[in-house]
Amino acid sequence: MSFSAEQFKQQFPLFAQEENAGLVYLDNAATTQKPLSVINTMRDYYIHSSANTHRSSHRLARKSTEMVEQVRDKARQFVNAASGKEIIFCRGATEALNLLAHCLCSELEPGDEIVISTAEHHANIVPWQMAAKRHNLILRYVPHTAGVPQFDRLGEVLNERTRVVSLTGGSNSIGLRPDLSLIRQLLRRMHIMWVVDGAQLAAHEEIDVQKIGCDFFVCSAHKFYGPSGIGFLYGREILLESMPPWLGGGEMIAEVEFQQSRYAELPHKFEAGTSPLAAIAGLGAALDFLSRQDRVAMAEHEQRLTRMLHRELSASPNFRLISQVHHNLGIIAFVPVHGSATDLMHWLDERDIAVRVGHHCAQILGRTSGNQVTVRASVAAYNTDSDVRDFLQALDDYCEVQQSAISDEEVEPTSWTRDDFSLLQLERLASHRNWQGRYRELLLWSKVVSRKPEIRNPENLVRGCESEAWLVHREIDGRHFFGLDSDSRVVKGLGALLLSQIDGCTTEEIEALDLPLLFKELGLSKHLSQSRSNGFYALMRRAFHQVESGENRL
């Protein structure tokens, strides 16, 4: 079989919509798009066979029950489980990890140990933290270098009290793919339960839990072209049998008496309540869809795009790469040298390029590596060479704009000094006919706002800004003056717009202004994201509060 990204993409209706004609979707680590076969299957379920499962004997119930068990068998084949009893449907990897943390840790003794890593998603950290606190367990981390776990050193934290090792199969923030065969060798001779968080892994390679050698494997359908709200947990049958149930009621009981209950057999012991049946049908369709693809060719295509993006970004002096191309499942994480990651995200959004900015639910990794906020571009099989070229061109254009906004020499003041907003002309900002022109103008306005490290403290932080911003105020002879600072040039530009109207004015002059109307007339509310607009209004509210209260920060 051969693989064509262009042909593969044609199976996804979202990209065929007129409003998405120019969309470059690089947020696949968050969620993938859905092929038509998945969408139609969920629709057909509701039209032709919607009914609850197992509890009724009528025709529709029998059909729904048959569908659920067929999908369970498809999931079994997808991960090469030994039996359908080893497949537990969950809302996704997060729920599956919570189930495991609750059930496994309830059987442990105080002082027993759990091992995780700094690269884990919060869903593979917080449930273990909660369980450790509840049962007086000890949580240990794989040794790391600058935040990046060294999985070959896993043995250094294993001992006779280690009971559970729960590790990512692929980091959602930097793309790091651990050597699972190495981990298997380290754990083989020890009686330690091994959990693999495969949320990111399942989309990019074929899964064989027998070959991996893990005891548990979790994944979410929406990461591999399926619907949201459904995933599954694989667990070795002997371990699932020994575990207590998590949720009570509905499908998970066999008999209820006054003081106790007898639980259903596997897998239903862990599937309390009514399952998301249409989503299960969609999961089955996603598994069928993947089974028809050349998974090896898909992975090779994704890896080629990943190498291309790493090569181009590593050669640019305008970006600092956080991710590494080796052992990477398709994620490019980086930060811009000039401007902020958030500014870059909004620039890309204006080009209809979808990426993700933030800590990516991996705050420990960000904090220990010193890269709390990064830009993350993540590829899928429907991404094309054209997508990559458009993305790289948008990055080049952003850098050009940023360079024009950088002062020839930035002098950091030793004390808070007033900025001069008198030369900023609203007419010039309004004269630009498109958003790109006004964006450039706002970046030029940001140069008026000097760095003020002395005001960067918690009491001056403005709550509600997407990027951190600090605002201070002093009143002199009945007139109000403000000091602003931010790492975001766009926030500085918007702040300069605000302060150009109120800095040096009296209370009466400020109260007479209709700044929301000005913001709307300039067309900024149309083009800025809701969060960025909220940031402008947060600055405005803070400034008005300072005027009304007479708050001074000298």
What is the pLDDT averaged over residues 271-298?
Answer: 96
pTM above 0.85, yes or no: no
**What pLDDT is attached to residue 480?**
93
pLDDT of residue 426: 83
- Non-local CB neighbours of 289 within 8 Å, separated by 6+ positions: 11, 35, 37, 38, 225
- Name the nearest CA neighbour of 174 among 149, 152, 143, 154: 149
For residues 345-349, average pLDDT: 91
Whole-number pLDDT of residue 411:
44
Beta strand 216-220 pairing with 193-197: parallel
**3-class DSSP state of 94:** helix
- The pLDDT-based confidence of 415 (bands split at 50, 70, 90) is low
Residue 137 pLDDT > 60? yes
Report the pLDDT value the prediction gives residue 190, as an integer from 0 to 100. 87
Strands 193-197 and 162-168: parallel
Query: Mind listing the pLDDT tens digit for each residue in 16-75?
Result: 999 999 999 999 999 999 999 999 999 999 999 999 887 667 999 999 999 999 999 999
pLDDT > 90 in the chain, percent: 69
What is the tens place of the pLDDT at every residue in 438-480?
A: 878 888 899 899 989 899 998 899 987 667 899 999 998 899 9
- Structure confidence at residue 413 (pLDDT): 44
pLDDT of amino acid 529: 66
Phi-psi region of 35 (alpha: psi -120 to 50; beta: other; left: phi over 0): beta
Strand arrangement of the beta sheet that strand 374-378 belongs to: 319-321, 331-336, 374-378, 356-358
| pLDDT(553) > 80 | no
* pLDDT at site 1: 54
Longest CA–CA span in the chain (Å) reads 84
- pLDDT confidence of residue 405: 65
How many CB atoms neighbour CB 389 within 10 A?
A: 13
**pLDDT for 410:** 46
Which of residues 426 and 16 earns the better pLDDT score? Answer: 16
Average pLDDT over residues 316-333: 95
| CB neighbour class for 160 (10 Å; exposed up to 12, middle 13-18, buried from 19) | exposed
Active site residue 361: yes
Strand pairing category for 353-354 and 24-25: parallel
- Class level of CATH domain 5-26+294-405: alpha beta
Count of C-beta atoms within a 10 Å radius of residue 265 = 9
Query: Does the domain made of 426-549 have the CATH classification 3.40.1160.10?
Result: no
Q: Which among 103, 105, 361, 505 is annotated as catalytic?
A: 361
Tokens at 30, concatenated: 């968050």
**C-alpha 129, offset from chain centre:** 21
Q: What is the pLDDT of residues 240-267, one digit of tens each?
A: 999 999 999 888 888 888 888 989 899 9
Mean pLDDT of the residues in the chain: 91
Sign of CA dihedral 300, 303, 309, 314: negative
Axis crossing angle, helix 93-105 with helix 126-135, rounded to the nearest 10: 20
User: Who wins on pLDDT, 410 or 441?
Assistant: 441
Q: Please give the average per-residue pLDDT across 403-430, as a whole number.
A: 69
Rounded to a whole number of angstroms, the distance between the first and last alpha carbons of the chain is 70
CB 139 within 8 A of CB 114: yes
- In this predicted structure, the answer to whether residue 532 has a pLDDT above a threshold of 80 is no
Instruction: Return the ∠ at Cα 175 (arms to 169 and 178), rounded to 5°.
Output: 40
Residue of higher predicted confidence among 180 and 489: 180
In whole angstroms, how large is the CA radius of gyration of the chain?
27
CA 139 – CA 131 distance, rounded (Å): 10
Q: What are phi and psi of 272, to 5 degrees?
A: -70, 145
63 within 8 A of 49, measured Cβ to Cβ = yes
Could you say which architecture CATH assigns to the domain 39-291? 3-Layer(aba) Sandwich (3.40)
Model confidence over 140-160: pLDDT tens digits?
Answer: 999 998 889 999 999 999 999
| Residues in CB range of 161: below 8 A, 6 or more apart | 111, 112, 113, 138
Return the pLDDT at 433.
73
Q: Give me the residue spans of the domains in the chain.
A: 5-26+294-405, 39-291, 426-549
Residue 384's pLDDT is: 98
